[in-house]
Amino acid sequence: MTNMDNNSIIGAPSQDELYQLFAPPTEVKPEEALSVGKELEKSLLNKYNNLFDVYSTAELQSAFTFAEDYKSFLDHAKTEREAVYTSIKLLNNLGFSDIRSKEQLLPGDKVYRSIHNKGLMAAVIGEDKAKAGFNILGAHVDSPRFDLKPNPIYEEAEMVFLKTHYYGGVKKYQWTAVPLALHGFAVRADGTSVKIAIGDDENDPVFMLTDLLIHLSKDQMTKTAAEVVTGEELNLLIGGRPVPHKDVSERFKVGFLMILKEKYGLSERDIVSAEIQVVPSDKARDLGFDRSFIAAYGHDDRVCAYPALRAVAAQEKSKRTVMLMLTDKEEVGSQGNTGAQSQEYETFMAEVYAKTEGGYDELGFLMALENSAMLSTDVVNGYDPNFASTMDIRNNSMMGHGVCLQKYTGSRGKSGASDANAEFLAKVVHLLDEYKIPWQTGELGKVDQGGGGTISQYAANRGIEVLDCGVPVLNMHAPQEIVHKLDLYATHQAYRCFIENM
């Protein structure tokens, strides 16, 4: 037996050791030799299985029920504002209240704080001192989309358009010639505000970014995919009815402005400050004859945000304080006062610390951060056999194999990577194994094929132990993305297990 003491350094096996280890099974009968071989295979190889072969009938039922809840959440959370609003509604129903309404916090208390209505922190206070650290789940709730420019409205060729600016990493051509909806928030001249959501109800009109007909696309078809439609060509068609007064200049644009004023109380000037987003129309749908998958807009990263929200919302009493972090602006670098780099997320942690410890001391709080454990709950790329040449099949998450633990992110030579420490990753793996929660591992595609990052690095910079951990996705950042229902469920199980037992 090899010496397994901590910190032991182990060299190569000697010739004698190798001779013994690889001695052929000559002493046993052929049938037994086979079973010894199978035993070797079972004990030595690391295999990840499809969860349809792993889950019991009851677990499969729970997974499919959870998927229905998730689909309904998605339909109410097409923007970061809607995701935060819907999450707060769920938390309020479960007895959470705004942390600012509390003078002190006791074990079992449930609190949250909205981060400018576009991010959210929530916590359930544990029995341990805050100094012992927090168990945190952190996701983002913004998704790639098209925003309206500050001066978006114009008419041309007797049609009304809105100028857009893409947000996050998109293949622009994927967003043309598909029905789109408008979701947003605007402040009127009198200071009152209005929420807008048009294009998802079957009786609603939809909007569209036009594409060139194939008949005239001789030149367009020779362009690279990045240029086949350009940013300035992505103008949203929203109307074509003029006001009846012939003496008005821009009669078609004024026709739209009339509707805007009448229906929403907004003027062209109010649109300058508004946040209005162009997102795919339609609701989340089952995909496949056997309904194994969900097709929807915005799985990245609501497919991790939702199971994280449900995991924290379900806590009554835990040993350590558990926290939920839903952030904005991840798709553009996590900056700004609603992005994960914002001080405000940490201010909430400091407030939890101060209100449980009976006061704030900086060193104590910094130690609490060092003692904290976090899953950066963001999606990973599922293996797509149609694009096999871009992925390393031995190191890529597979659809239906469960939650993916991603040790590191980044691109090229792991540039910009957040890299979980081996000790921490091992702890998470052992925990999931102990509770028999299926997991897999993977990294983002082949070396030098691309890459990406998450919010993990910003938490890691503060001393928190962080691991990237989330749901595999196909078609990532396309108007419709695909996830596997059993991966979603395994992810929820993993998140709950982590915050309850880490």
Distance CA 278, CA 175 (A): 10
Residue 417 Ramachandran class (φ > 0 left, ψ -120 to 50 alpha, else beta): beta
Which CA distances in Å does 352 have to 12, 143, 330, 446? 51, 29, 24, 42
| Closer residue to Mn ion (CB): 110 or 145 | 145
Q: Nearest approach, Cβ of 144 to Mn ion (angstroms)? A: 6
| Closer residue to Mn ion (CB): 234 or 340 | 340
| Closer residue to Mn ion (CB): 301 or 487 | 301
Q: Nearest approach, Cβ of 489 to Mn ion (angstroms)? A: 19
Distance CA 351, CA 110 (A): 13
Q: What are the structure tokens assigned to 385, written together?
A: 């056999």
Q: Nearest approach, Cβ of 385 to Mn ion (angstroms)? A: 22
Residues 6 or more apart from 466 whose CB is under 8 A from it?
374, 375, 376, 418, 420, 424, 456, 459, 460
| Closer residue to Mn ion (CB): 40 or 226 | 226
Which residue has its beta carbon closest to Mn ion?
A: 301
Q: Nearest approach, Cβ of 259 to Mn ion (angstroms)? A: 34
Q: Nearest approach, Cβ of 477 to Mn ion (angstroms)? A: 6
Minimal CA–CA distance to 297: which of 119, 61, 82, 469?
A: 82
Cis preceding-peptide flag for 69 (omega within 30 of 0): no
Q: Nearest approach, Cβ of 333 to Mn ion (angstroms)? A: 11
Please, are residues 471 and 464 in contact by the beta-carbon 8 Å criterion?
Answer: no
| Closer residue to Mn ion (CB): 378 or 443 | 378
426-427-432-436 Cα dihedral, nearest 10 degrees: 80
Which chain residues interact with Mn ion by CB under 5 A?
300-301, 378
Please, are residues 153 and 383 in contact by the beta-carbon 8 Å criterion?
Answer: no
Distance CA 428, CA 307 (A): 17
Q: Nearest approach, Cβ of 265 to Mn ion (angstroms)? A: 34
Distance CA 203, CA 167 (A): 28
| Closer residue to Mn ion (CB): 82 or 300 | 300
